[in-house]
Structure 1
Amino acid sequence: MLFASFSDARASDKSDFSLKQHCPPSFEKNAKGHCMLRTMYEFYDSVQNRGVGGTQTSLPDHRDGFTPAQIDLGRFLFFDPLLSKDGSLSCASCHQPDKGFSDDLDRSVGITGEKVTRSAPTLWNVAFLDKFFWDGRADTLEEQAVGPLFDPKEMGNNPQQLLASLRENSVYPGMFKQAFPQSHQIEIAQIATALTAFQTSLISLNSRYDQYAHGFHDALNENEIKGLNIFRSFVARCAECHQPPLFTNSQIAVIGTPEPEGLPFDPGAQVPFNDKRMRGGFKVPTLRNIAKTAPYMHSGGMGSLKEAAEFYTKGRGHAIPEREELLIHWHIWEPNLTDEELDRIVDFLHTLSDESLAPQIPEVLPSGLPAVDAKFAARKQRQKNLSGDKPMPLSSKNNKQMASSINNQQQDNVKEVSGDIYE
């Protein structure tokens, strides 16, 4: 069988894989042994009582309540390439901790070595979301977690092979028993639960902005405060969709971002929702750790924060292809921000970086495989070289300057990829 060549752990000492019994930082174990999130924001009023975009606004409902063992099992699964068809690709291959749980490609590379349709969104603070994937097609983290596993263009696996690989591994059955003591064997639902549990532990709420929001005003400098004020102003209107404290409203919005030339128009949320009004619509992404997740937009068509911010001031619908008629979100208009104002917004966006609760990457995996297989690293480097060598102009009316900027950024980003991309 295909999985037999990489399903046995080279690290045979099963005691090395005892799952943690304590909750991750910022979580408190309750009387039932479940990890419950604790943040300063729980002391504030709701959005309804404080108004949209206030610095001291409470967080929405979120997923927590998993056991420490379930979270830790999910951590091992997340980083283990055993979950892919050929053992070359893990969840972390496209959601890399040092890149804001995204990657540095315009569109991620799947198991076939080809780019997939869209860029990899960050996983920070997904516990607070109720829609997943760029087009919002998944309603739960469990549904989102298994989607890439069985997508032939992403991790390329199937339920039968995945279960066989894990069940025949010398370590994983014992780990699943620790996390799910009432279960007799590994099931797909447990895999989804463990991956969900781990993802809900990825909390980023201790940035310099958060310190400012909690009352420490020296956390931001003068330019960053100016940027925050512009961001929240009725002129720029950034905060109407990117609402603090999560800096997203979790809604689908049609803003008219262009596609790279040569690619068909992406209908986005129109497909899963079967609604023409949502054509070209995508989920409003969080801006948490946004400085780490370039390039930007659903197709990775914008290489810098300045370029992404400038898109919104170039005119409503300026990048819509000529034969498309989109229902642009009413928040999108022409604020005519100056270059200095755009720079101040970028200054502010950098204050949203916080990786203080980043999880520990396992030094050894139950499969014995490396966290990122050399085969995958080579595929990714090949795609980066192709992107750097060939400009990808955007299919908009005024695209020459934007395309040049993107190409220069891509060329600057081309660098050697070692066997371990987390170094």
Structure 2
Amino acid sequence: MGRKSVIIKSSISGILFVALLSLFLTKNNSEPYERIQQLNSNCPPGFKRNQNNECIAQNLYMQYNSPNNIGVGGLKTALPEIRDGFSPQQIDLGRYLFFDPILSGNGTMACASCHNPAKGFSDGMPTSIGNNNQKLQRSAPTLWNVAYLRKFFWDGRANSLEAQLQGPLFSEVEMNNSPENLLNTLNSIEAYVELFREAFPKKKNGNPITLDEIYTAISAFESSLISLNSKYDRYAHGYHKALNQNEVEGMNIFRSFVARCAECHTPPLFTNQQFAVIGTPEAEGLRLDPGAQIPFNDTTLRGAFKVPSLRNIENTAPYMHSGNFKTLRETVQFYNDGRGHAVPKNEDLIIHWHIWEPNLTEYELDRLVDFLKTLTDESFMPSIPETLPSGLKPAI
């Protein structure tokens, strides 16, 4: 009897030891996403690393189909094709660069200056503030889910994240840097030289940092900003208790043929990625912004702007390219006030055919706002570096 007792106790002890060892190994194999001056070897949330050290997107929308693979449709519709496949080291290097004011000509502005995580990766301004406190022409759009987009800037003049980020980097009124100065600066910082070597292991020792590597790293970080875990998403995947009655009513209004919001802000990304003339007013005293007319050389697109995603729209006020509306309630009221009501008298714009007079009630407008707030999700928010390779403080 004593021998059996010893055997049983030994077996229990062995099981407990294995369980504790397993727990210890599990914890120690899960590296934190925040590491200082050393690049992370783990993919950020929402991605899984494959055998080629590439971060591949993982989400529930991948189980669905999409008509013509363009990522527009109803509740259970696949997203558009995503830009992924960056290494975790490239993503983490991009995170350092994104917050580092060393990228600007005078060392005072970073990408995060206009795309602040605390403000929905926008800046909370009607229009952004650039170099030497210059007021810029348009508001800063959010960066959440940019990995799914095909066109960039409000007027769609860039076809890739790499092309887009060169705009503010080298604009005299924004970050006011030059390619030559940017390369000289980063190559003079040994910490950055080492991190670039780690993020791009095929580099030969002694080879300097290149512009393409800078663009790739920042694009990699921006492509990792995924927001797909909102209350709406839980509802869309089948958990119908995720939305309350007011929010469901708002969703039904949003998708109705009366309000027609979903015609342009189509789920699941809540944009059809097209350009539309809706007759948004400019700030008082400013002339009409021609928008997409200029890059596309198309007069029918005069006053047209890219249809923005509504993901995290609650956190990115003020609204529209001009930042003219301070609240979501003001914004939905604009659409309810009638087709072309804010167009200057001397302009003959071709207003998008989805814009009309829905004549929604005050109650219905309030429910619309309730629904828009269900699109909020920042659960995959990246951490802001505590220190930067340049030695400067993160600019936000």
Q: TM-score, normalised by structure 1?
A: 0.83
Q: CA deviation at 1:53?
A: 3.4
Report what 2:155 is aligned to. 135
Matches within 5 A, 1:7-406: 16-48=36-68, 52-183=72-203, 184-372=207-395
SS of residue in 2 equivalent to 1:190: helix
Misfit runs of 4+, over 4 Å? 48-52
Query: Equivalents in 2 of 1:166, 1:267: separation in Å?
Result: 37
**What's the offset of the Cα at 1:46?**
1.0
User: CA–CA distance in 2 between the matches of 1:371 and 1:279?
Assistant: 38
Q: Deviations over 1:266-304 (max 9, x none)?
A: 000000011101000000000000000000000100000
Query: Do the aligned residues in 2 keep the contact of 1:78 with 1:195 (CA within 8 Å)?
Result: yes
SS at structure 2 position matched to 1:197: helix
RMSD: 1.4
- Equivalent-residue separation in structure 2 for 1:231 and 1:47 (angstroms): 21
Distance in 2 of aligned mates of 1:192 and 1:50: 26
- Give the residue type in structure 1 aligned to 2:268: P
Q: Are the counterparts in 1 of residues 260 and 354 from structure 2 also a CA contact under 8 Å?
A: yes
SS of the counterpart of 2:276?
A: strand
**Cα distance per residue 1:191-217 (max 9 Å; x no partner):** 110010001100000000000001111
TM-fit CA distance, 1:112: 1.8
Q: Is the 8 A contact 1:208 1:220 kept in 2?
A: yes
Q: Which runs of 5+ in 1 are unaligned?
A: 1-14, 373-420
**Residue type of the alignment partner of 1:116:** L
- Taking a change above 3 Å as real, the CA distance of residues 51 and 268 of structure 1, as seen in their structure-2 partners, is closer
2 CA distance for matches of 1:341 and 1:268?
31
1:203 is aligned with what amino acid? Answer: I
In structure 1, give the amino acid aligned to 2:110.
Answer: S
CA distance in 2, matches of 1:186, 1:52: 39
| SS across alignment from 1:147 | helix
What code does the residue aligned with 2:147 have? A
Distance 1:51 1:284 in 2: 14
Is the 1:254–1:280 contact (alpha carbons within 8 Å) kept by the matching residues of 2? yes
Return the offset for 1:145.
1.6
User: Partners of 1:122 and 1:16 in 2: how far apart?
Assistant: 26
Q: Is the 8 A contact 2:72 2:79 kept in 1?
A: no
Structure 1 CA distance for aligned equivalents of residues 67 and 36 of structure 2: 45
Write the distance in 2 (CA, Å) between the matches of 1:151 and 1:357. 30
| Seq. identity, % | 61
Indicate the SS of the match to 2:305. strand
Tell me the distance in 2 between the aligned counterparts of 1:76 and 1:34. 19
Indicate the SS of the match to 2:143. coil
Amino acid in structure 2 at the alignment position of 1:339: E
Cα shift at 1:45: 1.5
SS at match of 1:327: coil
Letter of the 1:211 counterpart: R
C-alpha contact 2:266 2:272 (8 A) present in aligned 1: yes
Shift of 1:366: 0.8
| Cα 1:285/1:50, change in 2 over 3 Å | closer
TM-score, normalised to structure 2, is 0.89
Deviations 1:158-182 (A, max 9, x none): 1111111100012100000011122
Larger radius of gyration: 2
> CA–CA distance in 2 between the matches of 1:97 and 1:16?
19
Counterpart of 1:413 in structure 2 is none
Structure 1 Cα separation of the partners of residues 166 and 389 of structure 2: 20
Distance in 2 separating the partners of 1:177 and 1:166: 12
SS at the partner of 1:253?
strand
Query: Could you tell me which amino acid in structure 1 is paired with residue 210 of structure 2?
Result: E
